[in-house]
Every structure is written in structure tokens, then in C-alpha cells.
A and B are shown apart, each in its own frame.
Chain A
Amino acid sequence: MALEIKQVAMTGNEAVANAIKQINPDVIAAYPITPQTDIVQFYSTFVANGLVDTQMVTVESEHSAISATIGASAAGARAMTATSSQGLALMHELLHIASGFRLPIAMPVVNRAVSAPINIHCDHSDTMAALTTGWIQIYGENAQEAYDNMIQAVKIAEDPRVKLPVMVCYDGFITSHAVENLVLLPDEKVKEFVGEYKPTHELFDFDSPVTFGPLVLPDYFSEIKAQQAEAMLAAKEVILEVAKEFEKMSGRKYGYFEGYKLEDAERVIVVMSSTAGTAKAVVNELRAQGEKVGLLKPRVIRPFPAEEYVKALSGAKVVGVMDRAETFSTQGGQLFTELRAAFYEAPERPLMRNYIFGLGGRDTTTAEIRKVFEQLKQDQERGSVDRKVTHLDVRV
């Protein structure tokens, strides 16, 4: 594995734009105004400078951006767009169409709050609202992971066993706009890794004509949806295969999640994306004091690898699940409720509590993470959680 290691300083968006440059898709459609990210701004420079072969289509809304991407993908092109926040919300009805058409679109989503009140900052309410749209969702902690996930997403989406769209999610501003170290892969390695896109069905294949989006009545609609669910199940295996192949190329290991000092951990925080990095620093600090604490950072939540999560958390006594979005069910965030449900049949269940945190970009510091671990410790001593759902760092 003689790889040229090239450390660069880039923002998350710049890193992802570079991943897309190396993937060199046929078509990118974008609405070039906020809430669009600067991914497509960087990309338009690549197009203008002749560094890519991509046809760039600027459209009048996010709704049109995903529509144009769907059209291009159905026509047999490797097509992409990027979005965030309100933009993803505006795309919502088309998200179902992309997955229902079984189009392998890989789309970066920079996680940001959805209004109101108006807010541009990070939380996960945009992608959490898209969990039931039939897209695979992969989350990254930092610019490196966003870059790596973008490259893997193309291969996962286009696998003939999957053929589903993928959202590549990472934290708005915290990751998207912060400059940090990362390693880029050589162009030819990425090109070789993603390979040439060979669609299984395409509109412009006149020898074997196909229809996308016909009327399907009750006699077949359920079958189509069941097939999508099957594809989502198949994606579980493909995600690991792609990760393995990616590791062979890059040396960087990925799975459904990252376990950090989990082995003998009694008190575990489950948190996705950038805050997982902040939590690692606190785990290190508390471990140095002899505390048996650990972290589980989910990477893949669609499909939801329930058994694997249960297995990873089976040794824990108390688990604090941190959700960066409200569900307003009053029963906790999405990660929390799904993880709790996953434990229903487990022989041993840890105590579990939920924290809704970091909404609208509220800074989540090591002090807040320490507070969570402190509460988990009290719960462990008491043998019960004193509160099921807590809004972290909120004025009362």
C-alpha cells in the first residue's frame, strides 16, 4: 500500500467538493443561493477551470435541483446535487421519487437546523425529517470522514444489489466551514475505486426501453416498496464490503459505527458527527482518572443496524443517547427511540436516557459532555435514570 500521503488543510465543504471532483460525475444540478452550501461554489470553479467533465446545471430552487438530478440519473448519468436545511426540506417529495425510481444519487447534506425561528446553524433536524424517504444515511465526524464517506457513497448507491440514493451527512459550519487537516487520495485511486457508472436501466437505452414513474395501483405498489426495503437490507452488507475495499485503498477503517474505548465501558455516550469528537476528548480525560466510560458514534442509521448496535452496547450499564434533533413525540429523539426499540428482545438491557442537544448550533463543549457522563454515573449508582429525556444546556 504505497500511497502518496498528502496532508491538506480544508473545510469540510472543500473536502467534499474535492471528492466530487475526483468522482467527476456527469451532471451536477444546483440552486446556487443559500441554503445551498459552498460545495457547489467550489465545484463551479472546477467546472470553469476545465478540471472536470461535469455538466453543471443551475436551477431556480432545491426542488428543481433534485428534480434535474433525478432526470439526469434516470437518463443514465452519474448525477449529483448537494443541499442543507431548508433546501432538503424543499426537496422532500422528490426524495421519495429518487428512492422509488431506485436512482443511485449520492448527495452531501450539510446538517443544519430547519426554521422557524430562522437559524442557519448546525443540528440534525433536516436529515432526521428525511429518515423515511428511502435514502441511505451516513454521518461523518470531520472533514476527513465527510470526504471518505462521499467516495464510498457512490459505490454503495450504485451497487446493483442496492440501487438506492445516499445522503452523506456532516455538521453544518462545525465541519462544513472549519479548516482542518485531512488526507486526500490520489485522483486515479478514487477514479479506479468508484469505477465507471454502468446503469442497469436507463431512459436512453432504446434497445430495451424502460419507464420511470408510471402509475402503480394497489395491485403492485406494496411490492415496489417491499423491494426498496429489501434493497435497504442488502445495503447493510454492501456498506461493509465497500468500507473494507476503501480501507484497503486508504488505510482508514469504517463500519456501521465507531466504538471508542467501548470494550469494558460501563457508561457510554451515543452521539453522531462532530460532537463525537468532542466526546472522545472527554472519554480520554475520564479514562485517565480511571472512569469506565466509552463512546459509540453511529455512522450508518439508514439502514439501521439494530443487532450490531445492541451487541456493541451490550456490556454497558448506562447509555446516554444524544440526539441533535427533536421529534416532538415527547418520548425522545430518533436515535434514542430506535436504539431503545432495538434492545426490546435483548437479554440484558442497560439503563438508557436521552439528551436533545446542540439545536440551532448551540455549542456543545467538553463541559456539557462531562455533565452527561456525571449524570450517567449518578444513574448507575441509583440503578435508574432520573429523567428519560433531557434538553441539554437549556435555560429553565
Chain B
Amino acid sequence: MSNLVEIRWHARGGQGAKTASTLLAEAALSAGKYVQGFPEYGPERMGAPILAFNRIGDEPITIHSNVENPDVVMVLDPSLIGPVNVAEGLKEGGVIVVNTNLEPEAVRQKLGVSGNYTVATVDASGIAVATIGRDIPNTPMIGALLKLREFLPFESFMERMRIDLERKFQGRQAIVEGNLNAMRRAYQEVKQA
């Protein structure tokens, strides 16, 4: 299971972390991977801190607990840094991707933890507003993730995402294109240090 990638999403209710974990799982499955995508259910209110998880690998996955030692941490709302220890359990050599317009170095300082991991930043909210018209940063965050962890070639992943999004947003083509553009921009604009 050495190629297993475990992801933990930190977000606030309403930002689409559950959808992101589901979309990522579906697209990775289409690419022939074994996948899991699940949120941690709690009191489901807008704005409350929530968690979601992914496991993606080349072999069947039998572990059915939450991800405790993620390879990747996705932070959809930078205001969670501080109140929530988003770096908890992060594996050596792991990566934290944060939705912010700050530089990676500034975020690393805010995180206040040292160690051998990458900090990446992308203005997913800004991108979402520009492309989708609303601050739903989940799909651009997937775009950024693909830059940092290549599950499969970006273009073919985008093809699969298109199929999944078209199924999800039946007939609302502008939303589909907006999300795909958001992913593409985030893929290009993510910075790491």
C-alpha cells in the first residue's frame, strides 16, 4: 500500500468539502484507482468546522476509519488555522494546501510548525468568484491538489471531471465550465515552498 495517498479536508460547512472529496473519489475511480471519499458527519450547520477524507491507491482499501496521518491536508478556509490544528498527524514529506492569497512562507509561519513538509497556497476563493461567480473553493482546491500530487495526467483527469460535473449539474453548462476553469486556473496558480 506504499502508493496509498490519504487526504484530509478542513473546511467550514457550506464550502463543499464533502462534494470535493466525493468528486475527487469518483474521478480517481474512473482513472482505475481504488478510492474512498467520506465526510465526518456532525451537526451540519453553515460555517461550522468540518472534516472530509479521501484515500486513493492502486490496491483495494479496507481501512474504514478516519484518516489520522494524512499525506495531504487541504484547508478550504484559512481562518481554521489556529482554532484547528490542521497539521495534526501530517506525514513526513506531506503537503498542506491552503486557500489564501498569502504566500506559502507566510502561511508556514502562521502554522507555526516546523518539519519536512510542503506548504502550498492558492487563492481558491478568488478564483471561484472569478470563474463560478460564487465563493465555493472546493473545485479549484482539487485543481491545486493535482499539481502537487499527480494521480493521473491532468488533462485526462479534467476529462473525467467534466463527465462527473455534467452529471451533477445537469443542463447547467455554465457552472460546469466555471468549475473546470477554476480547476485549471488553480492548477496553474498554486504556489509552493
CB distance from B73 to the nearest CB of A (A): 18
Number of A interface residues, CB 8 Å?
27
**Also in contact, A363 and B37, with CB within 8 A (given A7-B29, A8-B29, A181-B29):** no
**Also in contact, A366 and B63, with CB within 8 A (given A179-B22, A179-B26):** yes
CA distance A174 to B53 in the complex (A): 11
Within 319-378 of A, Cβ neighbours of B (below 8 Å) are at 363-367
Do A175 and B64 have beta carbons less than 8 Å apart?
yes
Would you call A40 an interface residue if the criterion is a C-beta within 8 Å of the partner chain's C-beta atoms? no
Would you call B62 an interface residue if the criterion is a C-beta within 8 Å of the partner chain's C-beta atoms? yes
Would you call A9 an interface residue if the criterion is a C-beta within 8 Å of the partner chain's C-beta atoms? yes
Do B65 and A177 have beta carbons less than 8 Å apart?
no
Would you call A85 an interface residue if the criterion is a C-beta within 8 Å of the partner chain's C-beta atoms? no
Would you call B35 an interface residue if the criterion is a C-beta within 8 Å of the partner chain's C-beta atoms? yes
CA distance A277 to B36 in the complex (A): 13
Would you call A73 an interface residue if the criterion is a C-beta within 8 Å of the partner chain's C-beta atoms? no
CA distance A153 to B34 in the complex (A): 27
CA distance A363 to B38 in the complex (A): 13
Do B64 and A179 have beta carbons less than 8 Å apart?
no
Do B34 and A177 have beta carbons less than 8 Å apart?
no
CA distance A280 to B61 in the complex (A): 10
Do A280 and B26 have beta carbons less than 8 Å apart?
no
Within 38-81 of B, Cβ neighbours of A (below 8 Å) are at 38-39, 41, 60-66, 68
Partner of A181, one of B35, B38, B41, B63: B35
**Also in contact, A9 and B26, with CB within 8 A (given A277-B63, A281-B62):** yes
Do A9 and B35 have beta carbons less than 8 Å apart?
yes
CB distance from A41 to the nearest CB of B (A): 16
**Also in contact, A280 and B22, with CB within 8 A (given A181-B34, A181-B35):** no
Do B36 and A363 have beta carbons less than 8 Å apart?
no
Would you call B161 an interface residue if the criterion is a C-beta within 8 Å of the partner chain's C-beta atoms? no
Partner of A177, one of B25, B26, B38: B38
Which of B22, B60, B64 counts the most chain A CB atoms within 10 A? B64
- A-side interface residues toward B, CB under 8 Å? 7-9, 120-121, 141-142, 171, 173-175, 177-181, 274-275, 277-278, 280-281, 363-367
The 10 closest A-B pairs by CB, nearest first: A178-B38, A277-B62, A274-B64, A179-B37, A9-B29, A365-B65, A9-B26, A179-B25, A280-B62, A277-B64
18 contacts between A and B (CB under 8 A): A8-B29, A9-B26, A9-B30, A9-B37, A120-B41, A121-B41, A173-B41, A174-B64, A177-B39, A177-B41, A179-B26, A179-B36, A181-B60, A277-B62, A278-B63, A281-B62, A364-B65, A367-B68
